[in-house]
Amino acid sequence: MNLRFLFFIARRYLFSKEKQHVINLITAVSMIGVAIGTMALVIVLSVLNGFESVVKDSFNNFDPELRIEAAEGKTFAINDSNVQLLRQIPEVALFSQELQEMALLSLDDQQMPIRVKGVDREFSKLTRIDTLILSGSFDIHREYDVRGVIGVGVANKFHVGVDFNTPMQLYAPRRSVRFNAARPDQAFLQRPFVVSGLFAVNQPQYDEELVILPIALARELFEYPDTIVTALSLKMNNPQEIASVKAKARKILGKEFLVLDQYEQQEDFYRIMQIEKWITFLILAFIILIATCNVIGSLSMLMIDKSSDIELFKSLGANNKQLRTLFLIEGWMITAIGALIGLALGIIICYIQMEWGVIKMGNGFLVQSYPVVLKWGDLVAVFFTVLAMGFLAAYYPASLIGKKQDKKRARQ
């Protein structure tokens, strides 16, 4: 009995027109259980992909294509010879300087520690910050007016907006003065600014902690010279050149600097999202494994019903290994059909959600309906995972063929 013939027999058993109501019912239940579990796994993974895509778009609107930081320490000088060589890379379209430090934000009796991000005029061209402005504008570089934009979370805590004309105060410890308990005010520099806009990246590390100011004001507040930055941001002429420019920059700068793409700038966040995704995958896969246990009952009853066929195949020369393979294929086919039906249903439901957004999230969310992104890699992983579980479920009953007969013969 070759493999092709075994597939033929397994297919005949699966789609038999004989009135085996109980066996057919258990087989149908097995397929439906696998199909529902597979469909749920496809939908949940696609929704998680959708949320990841939404968050990624928010980060990409704010984070530069490439970011250069010091490998050790907080700041570095832009007049460094290696840093100057970066300007000779033809694929780089824009450079932006950044100075970021902690300060104390104050308004009347309210105070909170925040991160000050000082940026130059190229920042608005290098990122898509304008798309993140909820109210007001990103108009912070004025000659006679000190302005800044604040995260929407910071604005909510201080109850301020773009129509609030009272300047907010920034305090930073002076680098060149020792602390004097008798005159603690002399140990801090103070700089006021007026809110020109509110931004929302929909991430707490930005919305609830960040104030963006002109880099000149940040250097003045933290007493840094004009050549000192905490990071350089780069924008390419073509986004497809990011990888090549990243390699060139690393070669030029050496181990003293870090060259980070958009994924590496938020690596911890993306890693956590991937862990959450695959933990969810494992939990739902375990549920599918329980559903595939119905295959054990289906195969066991089929083997009992087909005991006369088994004896006939043995009389024709089939051995136990071939018969085990026959029923293993049978169980695998039950699982495969259920998996294919589940995949089809999952893809259809995801497509409907992507096109029409049937299931809404309600008010107050970044998107109106649940985001869905189908990935072929996920579909392939789901299909082969379900097949593997079907193999495990079918292996146990199929492995029992011939063992009872062998035990009887051994006793005799």
Domain parsing of the chain, residue ranges = 3-59+270-406, 64-264
Please tell me the predicted confidence (pLDDT) of residue 371.
93
Q: Please say whether the beta carbons of 370 and 47 come within 8 A.
A: yes
Please tell me the predicted confidence (pLDDT) of residue 345.
97
41-50, 317-326, 386-395: least confident range: 317-326
160-174, 250-264, 360-374: least confident range: 360-374
Please tell me the predicted confidence (pLDDT) of residue 257.
95
Q: How confident is the model at residue 297 (pLDDT cuts 50, 70, 90)?
A: confident
CA angle, residues 132, 134, 136, in degrees to nearest 5: 110
Kindly state the tokens that stand for 10. 């397994």
Whether the CA torsion 59, 60, 61, 67 is positive or negative: it is positive
Mean pLDDT of 284-295: 86
Task: Look over the chain and give the mean of its residue pLDDT values, rounded to a whole number.
Answer: 88
Tokens 């293993």 — which residue? 328
On the question of pLDDT at 68 being above 80, the answer is yes
Please tell me the predicted confidence (pLDDT) of residue 332.
87
Three-class SS state of 202: coil
Mean pLDDT of 348-370: 87
R_g of the chain computed on alpha carbons: 32
